[in-house]
Amino acid sequence: MLATKRLKGIIGDMINQAELESAECDDILVHNGLVPSPGLPDRPEARMENIPIGARFTDMEIAAMIAADSAAGLVTCSQIMGKSIREDVGVLFAKYHATKAAIGLKTLRLSKEKGWLVPPPLVIERPQLEEVRS
């Protein structure tokens, strides 16, 4: 149960960060005379008892999805930092990058502790390459 609580905490951190990023980016748009896109309505609360057992994601699956999302967010932040011609926007996304990296690290540590991270098998024998003689 402790792992589920820690995983919920990580998900909460990600949601809070996403809301902060959205608000800060909207502020930049408004400050520059642009209208931000409308936000999506909040989804209703779901009760776990209402989700059929076969349709539920396991903690291991959720952790893997969070890790993939964090990795995609890091790439996106890096691209924006590299392409930005405004220093304030580059610094803002550097801050987001650091936060996403920290959340990704928390997810990685939890996945390792719980045995959810399944490394690929090691290759013991390597094929010998034949030299081409001309």
**Domains in the chain: boundaries:** 1-9+58-115
Query: Dihedral sign, CA of 21, 102, 63, 123?
Result: positive
**Phi, psi for residue 85 in degrees, rounded to 5:** -100, -5
The answer to whether 51 touches 77, Cβ cutoff 8 Å, is no
Q: What is the mean pLDDT of each run of 10 residues along the chain (134 residues)?
A: 86 95 95 90 87 90 94 97 96 97 96 89 76 66
Per-residue pLDDT, 25: 95
Which amino acid is present at 36?
P
Which pair of structure tokens corresponds to residue 14?
Answer: 């990600």
